[in-house]
Amino acid sequence: MLRRNLRHARRYPALTFSTIAIPVIFLLLFVYVFGGTLGNGLGGVTGGRAEYANYVVPGILIMGVAGAAQGTAIGIAMDMTKGIIARFRTMAIFRPSVLTGHVLGSVIQTMLSLLVVVAISLAVGFRPNATAIEWLAAAGVLVMITVAVVWLSVALGMVTKSVETASNLPMPLLLLPFMGSGFVPTESMPVAMRWFADYQPFTPVIETLRGLLLGTGIGGDAWLAAGWSLVIGVVGFVWALRLYNRDPTA
């Protein structure tokens, strides 16, 4: 199942391209169009565009993770609507492998896409001061939240009745980095918006990545990031498994 999904990714590169293109477009937009003004408001040593490039990259990486959910939901919806799952049911294969193949393939695809995003971020001025261990820890955080989001997107792809709906259902995930600390500090937001931004799932993940890569304080954000990832992953896994077991076309 994993090999099948990796072959699909190679044969249909449009989804992989969109996973890279969306965060890169927002990176270039915010760094080169808004970065000069927003960077001055951060109060750092250098200020301006260079300061903002360092600030925004963790949020951009999470946007890349959220964007991967769309491709996963589309792939699952295509399998569910075209009847291939019914054929798999007749074969001597481990039943959950149909879902885990999608998950593992999406995680691998997302990690490769994020490597490209990091390379482009370095080219536009991102200057992390992380050690090798901190880079590994940051990669672990990205894998952790990616697995959780992908399992949720598997459930979203199965709950829909068409590929078109599956492509739209995960779209709110792309908004969460904007409604958190991904692009501006939450302290600059109105009280009600700041409350939501501080307690939504992606903010502690972004702050953990920022702390690991740039040496800012992490505090309890690492535990919150792990907790949110666990909750999202478990909910997505249980939901997807129930939908898979009861779906009449499966």
Q: In angstroms, what CA-CA distances link 116 with 87, 125, 201, 217, 221?
A: 36, 15, 24, 26, 26
Counting every residue, how long is the chain? 250
pLDDT of residue 249: 46
For residue range 157-185, what is the model confidence (pLDDT) as tens digits?
Answer: 888 877 778 778 888 888 899 999 989 88
Render pLDDT for 100-115 as a digit per residue (tens, 0 to 9).
Answer: 888 888 898 889 889 9
For the chain, give the percent of residues with pLDDT over 90: 42
pLDDT top residue among 83 and 61: 61
Residues 58-86 have a mean pLDDT of 82
Other CB atoms closer than 10 Å to residue 82's CB: what's the count? 12
Q: Are 203 and 222 within 8 A, CB to CB?
A: no
Q: Is the dihedral of CA 130, 136, 141, 143 positive or negative?
A: positive
Looking at residue 140, what is its pLDDT? 95
Give the Cα separation of 89 and 195 in Å (integer). 46
pTM higher than the cut 0.85: yes
Q: What is the pLDDT of residues 110-145, one digit of tens each?
A: 898 899 999 999 999 899 999 999 999 999 999 999
